[in-house]
Amino acid sequence: MEAGTIYITLAALFGIFMAWGIGANDVANAMATSVGSKALTIKQAIFVAAVFEFAGAVLAGGAVTGTIRKGIVDADLLSGTPELLVYGMLASLLAAGTWLLIASRNGWPVSTTHSIVGAIVGFAAVGIGVEAVQWGKVGTIVMSWVVSPLTAGIIAYLIYQSVQHLILRHTNPLERAKRYVPVYIFLAALTMTLVTIFKGLSHVGLTLSIRDSYLLAVGIALVVAGVGAYFIQQIKPDRKAEKSQHFITVERVFAILMVVTACGMAFAHGSNDVANAIGPLAAVIAIAQSGVVASKSALPVWVLVLGGAGIVVGLATFGRHVIATVGERITQLTPSRGFAAELAAATTIVIASGTGIPISTTHTLVGAVLGVGVARGIDAIDLRVVGRIFVSWVVTIPAGAILAIIFFFFFKIVLP
């Protein structure tokens, strides 16, 4: 068996492992608010994620992926020794996948992006030299640890306050929900469409101007809001259930909204984060086939399908642990609270995509859930759970780096 075939086989296996980790950890985040608020059952969430994550990964996951992830490694330094990049990318995939397995098993919502970033930084600094790492990029990533959860938390706080002000604090909450929830559906669909356009379509080679992007998003959002309004009007008050739980029918209205946001988040997430698994895989395939280091490489469709399938299997087999942490343990979620968190997270992703700030879906969503908790009072948040989550965030980059260094030297000794 020649070296190129060995490299591609190992890269495919480790790529599936990494995609599995993304499914177990990151997708669980995207679905956690829907499951935690009881808008979707765990089986329904897996189905929604399977369809929309897979579609996002395959349709918008990247016709061309920048191989050297996020410009963290200076590719020119490796032009004479392409095999070092192969060992490094294999080590990075295996290291990030291993860390995600550990984190998911413990129910820690960590960032898959930061796992792979940490791994690549580790192998590059030790295997090539400290000067090979673009430290400015690493600095902006560290900065995003604070910026993304804070932004999402503030937006979620404001959205949930508006829900309380417009709907929940009134004597006729169901009538007001039927009036205002279509507006929220419009905003949710608009935001989700923009996430998809900014984060997904650019990978397919479709580039729309900013004006066209917004016009398309508004058109789609109007259609979705119209369909949502029709279904909401069909909901009849359940007087018997409302005696024991005053807002039960209103929350059913918000549950419809949560399904819309869950589908959108899954598609946007699949289109964006599948690159964490297949970026390094694309690098290995390109080098194995051509023998040279290229800063970009064409991506075979089978690689995208592999990534999409791995993500779905990860969620189905291991996703429940992280879903329980984000959806149930930080603060108690209902459909109205879960919607506020998800819309805030999506809005933050749109803002970040537009401004080019590196962002973690995980950190954003956890920040948004915290924002909803704060809107109900600090007592509504389990601070011990939050503390454990923050520690797991800080540990992610060094953990990925240390594992990648160990695997890098192992591959250097063992592989041809």
For every residue of 331-382, DSSP letters joined together read S---HHHHHHHHHHHHHHHHHHHHHT----HHHHHHHHHHHHHHHT-GGGS-
- More confident position, 237 or 94: 94
pLDDT over 90, % of the chain: 12
List C-alpha distances in Å: 51 to 24, 57, 202, 301.
16, 10, 21, 17
What sign does the dihedral 26-72-55-345 (CA atoms) show?
Answer: positive
Residue 392 is which amino acid? Answer: S
- More confident position, 272 or 217: 217
Which of 159, 52, 107, 121 is CA-nearest to residue 330? 107
Concatenated DSSP letters for 79-148?
Answer: TT-HHHHHHHHHHHHHHHHHHHHHHHHTT----HHHHHHHHHHHHHHHHT-GGGB-HHHHHHHHHHHHHH
Query: What confidence score (pLDDT) does residue 295 get?
Result: 54
CB 185 within 8 A of CB 233: no
pLDDT at 175 over 80: yes
Query: What confidence score (pLDDT) does residue 399 get?
Result: 93
CB 115 within 8 A of CB 70: no
Query: What confidence score (pLDDT) does residue 56 get?
Result: 75
pLDDT at 323 over 70: yes
Which of 366, 341, 363, 340 is CA-nearest to residue 352? 363
Query: What confidence score (pLDDT) does residue 64 get?
Result: 35
Query: What confidence score (pLDDT) does residue 101 get?
Result: 93
Segment 262-270 shows an average pLDDT of 77
pTM over 0.75: yes
CA–centroid distance for 230 within its chain: 30
Long-range pairs of 230-236 with CB within 8 A, sequence gap ≥ 24: 231/256, 232/177, 232/178, 232/181, 232/182, 232/256, 233/178, 235/174, 235/178
Segment 112-122 shows an average pLDDT of 85
Domain boundaries, the chain: 3-414
Please provide the average confidence, as pLDDT, over all residues in the chain: 81
Which of 216, 209, 212 is CA-nearest to residue 193? 216
Residue 76, token pair as written in the block: 């020119």
- More confident position, 290 or 341: 341
Place of tokens 């608009």: 190
Segment 261-275 shows an average pLDDT of 74
Query: What confidence score (pLDDT) does residue 63 get?
Result: 41
| Number of neighbours of residue 266 by Cβ within 10 angstroms | 27
Sequence-ordered list of residues with C-beta below 8 angstroms from that of 314, at least 6 positions apart, any chain: 19, 20, 21, 22, 23, 24, 25, 27, 104
pLDDT over 70, % of the chain: 86
Q: Which helix (H) or strand (E) holds 296?
A: strand 296-298
Alpha-carbon span 305 to 295, nearest angstrom: 22
List C-alpha distances in Å: 72 to 105, 137, 331.
28, 6, 36
Query: What confidence score (pLDDT) does residue 159 get?
Result: 92
CB 62 within 8 A of CB 275: yes
Beta strands 64-66 and 296-298 are antiparallel
pLDDT at 271 over 60: yes
Query: What confidence score (pLDDT) does residue 199 get?
Result: 61
| pLDDT per residue as tens digits for the range 337-378 | 888 888 888 788 777 766 666 677 788 888 998 999 888 877
CB 287 within 8 A of CB 84: no
Query: What confidence score (pLDDT) does residue 405 get?
Result: 93
| pLDDT per residue as tens digits for the range 210-224 | 888 889 989 999 998
Place of tokens 């109900």: 376
**Confidence band for 291, pLDDT divided at 50, 70 and 90:** low
Alpha-carbon span 333 to 63, nearest angstrom: 38
Alpha-carbon span 415 to 363, nearest angstrom: 36
**Confidence band for 245, pLDDT divided at 50, 70 and 90:** low
**Confidence band for 408, pLDDT divided at 50, 70 and 90:** very high
- More confident position, 369 or 192: 369
What sign does the dihedral 300-305-306-307 (CA atoms) show?
Answer: positive
Segment 116-124 shows an average pLDDT of 86
For 61, list phi and psi in degrees, rounded to 5. -85, -10
Burial class for 321, CB neighbours closer than 10 Å (0-12, 13-18, 19+): middle
Place of tokens 């796992």: 115
